[in-house]
Structure 1
Amino acid sequence: MTKSGHRGGSNHAVRVFRVQRAFTELEGQVHGPGELAEATGLDDSTVHRILQSGIHDGMFVREGRGLYRLGPGAARLGLKSLSHAPNTEVAHGVLEELREATDGGLVFLFALAPFGGARKQCLDMAVGDSDLAELGISRRALLTVFQSLRTGAGGRAILAHLPEVIQEAVLAEPPPVEAGPGVFRDKGTLLASLKAVREQGMAVESEECAAGWNGLAVPIRWDGLIMGSLAVLTPKDGVPHWPSRVLRAFELAAEAFSEAGGHGAWSSETTSSF
């Protein structure tokens, strides 16, 4: 291959990636070549050729006349990236350190669930001897049931950083019947809380998940993409405010998860003492 030929191939790959990325940045799920061309700075014919070639690989799917969406090929890439998850033993150690930093709070690691709509899924927890009955849920249920993103700091820390079209779908859902008395029921109030999460870098809850429990959560990102959150719940009377040492511990833990996930590696050197 000539030097110029190699350069042309690289340019083509960049154009393909730009089209794929445009699907994740534009509102809505289906788009036409013209809209994608405007978003990527490419001409319509180039975008059309990329879409057509991607159909054969399952990267794109044609939806009606002149409209396309991301296909199962894109989903396979995403799931493959998730397979490079942090070492679970080391990751659990981070949760245990967070539990110690919160003086025995209930600490949870949530991920954005890949199926069943926009939901959160608990991947791991550090809760000591608690059976979670005081929260009205069992350990087994927490680890196997996908939960609404509109309830609790752990959900809103994720929801605040999702595209507007996904936020609207979640906000259209009614609050779960098992939610606590502090759950946001008004759409405007919930939207304001999401703005506060983005501005403050964390979500704070008061009896959203269960009566008598307050919480704190921070988002986890991989290369800027929201992937999940770290959350803690403590008895309402136990923490009148969140001390700076707790906020710093959560900040460091989130950074560790984000750096390890984004780089596809995790070792004992990744973590630090909180």
Structure 2
Amino acid sequence: MFRVQRAFTELGGPAHGPGELAETTGLDDSTVHRILQSGVHDGTFVRESRGLYRLGSGAARLGLKALMHEPNAAVAHAALEELREETDGGLVFLFVLAPFGGARKQCLDMAVGDSDLTELGIGHRALLSISQSLRTGACGRAILAHLPEVIQDQVLAEPPPGEAGPGAYRDDGELRTSLQDIRQSGYAVESEEWARGWNGWAAPVSWDGLVMGSVLVLRPEGAGPRRPAACVQAVMGAAARFTQASDSGAWSSRVPAARGHL
């Protein structure tokens, strides 16, 4: 099953037939056909016309479930707490692509101290259970900037959410320009996109070479001595630490400093 899933990512393109998948995986045609039929029932694969198949949302759900039950989740949370300390008590979040409901983001973990998040207009439980648009917030745009153009077009076709802050991008042209800037710089900056009086910085997180999430720090405007460049450095370092996590869940003890982005 996993060899067939990986074949889809190696081949690229939207859909493939059993013969092409069999050649890529080294499995025989009948075995691949049985795997595809089994995967259709649980949503891992979707049958298209003309005998072609594509990956379904079930594959994304498997990935998210694996992340949520990673044995070293406590170590991952410690990385968020460390980032909170480095940014003088900023509110720190780890977002991932939501496993269902289209191209959206969902909070996987956070380090917010004793804050109840009411200043952001959302509670802990809601933030962890509700998926949100990728077009708003540095955390969403840091992910969206690295998704295929067809998905970007789908997201931009959505209207800005009503609960978005006053700084949210409402002009699609400006939003596309921001995505280009993110790809060039490696991080996203937001000014009151989430809530009035709050600014933030986010950097993309990759798993197996694909951008699947982002790390975000939010700080109230004018709070503390921390310089924006230092926050950017800290956020990019934390994102690199998540990206460099090994398949076994090991974490590197030292992350090279990000260069050329400040």
1:140 correspondence with 2:125: yes
What is the CA RMSD across the aligned residues, in angstroms? Answer: 3.4
Cα gap change, 1:176 to 1:83, in 2 (>3 Å): closer
Residue pair 2:201, 2:231 contacting (<8 A) in 1 also? no
Residue pair 2:16, 2:52 contacting (<8 A) in 1 also? yes
Residue pair 1:54, 1:60 contacting (<8 A) in 2 also? no
1:167 correspondence with 2:185: no
**What are structure 1's unaligned runs of at least 5 residues?**
1-12
1:55 correspondence with 2:51: no
Q: Deviations over 1:28-76 (max 9, x none)?
A: x4x365xx97xx9x89xx9x98974653342654312354322577557
Q: Which secondary structure does the structure 2 equivalent of 1:263 belong to?
A: coil
Q: Which amino acid aligns with 1:266?
A: A
Cα gap change, 1:86 to 1:117, in 2 (>3 Å): farther
Q: Which amino acid aligns with 2:164?
A: A
Deviation, 1:193, is 0.7
1:196 correspondence with 2:181: yes
Q: Deviations over 1:180-227 (max 9, x none)?
A: 011111111111111111110000001111111111000110121112
Q: Which amino acid aligns with 1:21?
A: T
Distance in structure 2 (CA, Å) of the matches to 1:73 and 1:211: 37
Distance in structure 2 (CA, Å) of the matches to 1:72 and 1:144: 18
* TM-score normalised to structure 1 length: 0.76
Distance in structure 2 (CA, Å) of the matches to 1:211 and 1:106: 15
**What are structure 2's unaligned runs of at least 5 residues?**
258-262
The match for 1:125 among 100, 103, 110 is 110
Distance in structure 2 (CA, Å) of the matches to 1:49 and 1:195: 44
Q: Which secondary structure does the structure 2 equivalent of 1:150 belong to?
A: coil
Alignment of 1:212-227 (within 5 A): 212-227=197-212
Alignment of 1:44-123 (within 5 A): 52=33, 54-58=35-39, 60-71=45-56, 74=59, 78=63, 81-82=66-67, 85=70, 87-123=72-108
Q: Which amino acid aligns with 2:36?
A: I
Distance in structure 1 (CA, Å) of the matches to 2:190 and 2:56: 37
Cα gap change, 1:265 to 1:32, in 2 (>3 Å): closer
Distance in structure 2 (CA, Å) of the matches to 1:80 and 1:135: 27
Distance in structure 2 (CA, Å) of the matches to 1:66 and 1:242: 56
The match for 1:265 among 249, 252, 256 is 249
Q: Deviations over 1:248-271 (max 9, x none)?
A: 2222211211121x423135x646
> 63-72 or 170-179, which moves further after superposition?
63-72
Residue pair 1:51, 1:60 contacting (<8 A) in 2 also? no
Distance in structure 2 (CA, Å) of the matches to 1:76 and 1:237: 39
Residue pair 1:118, 1:170 contacting (<8 A) in 2 also? yes
1:235 correspondence with 2:220: yes
> 209-218 or 233-242, which moves further after superposition?
233-242
Residue pair 1:218, 1:230 contacting (<8 A) in 2 also? yes
Residue pair 1:84, 1:265 contacting (<8 A) in 2 also? no
Cα gap change, 1:200 to 1:241, in 2 (>3 Å): farther
Distance in structure 1 (CA, Å) of the matches to 2:46 and 2:192: 43
* TM-score normalised to structure 2 length: 0.79
The match for 2:137 among 138, 152, 155 is 152
Residue correspondences, number: 248
Cα gap change, 1:156 to 1:71, in 2 (>3 Å): closer
Deviation, 1:237, is 2.5
What fraction of aligned residue pairs are identical, expressed as a percent? 58
Corresponding residue of 1:205 = 190
Q: Which secondary structure does the structure 2 equivalent of 1:65 belong to?
A: helix
Distance in structure 2 (CA, Å) of the matches to 1:273 and 1:224: 18
Deviation, 1:179, is 0.4
Corresponding residue of 1:4 = none
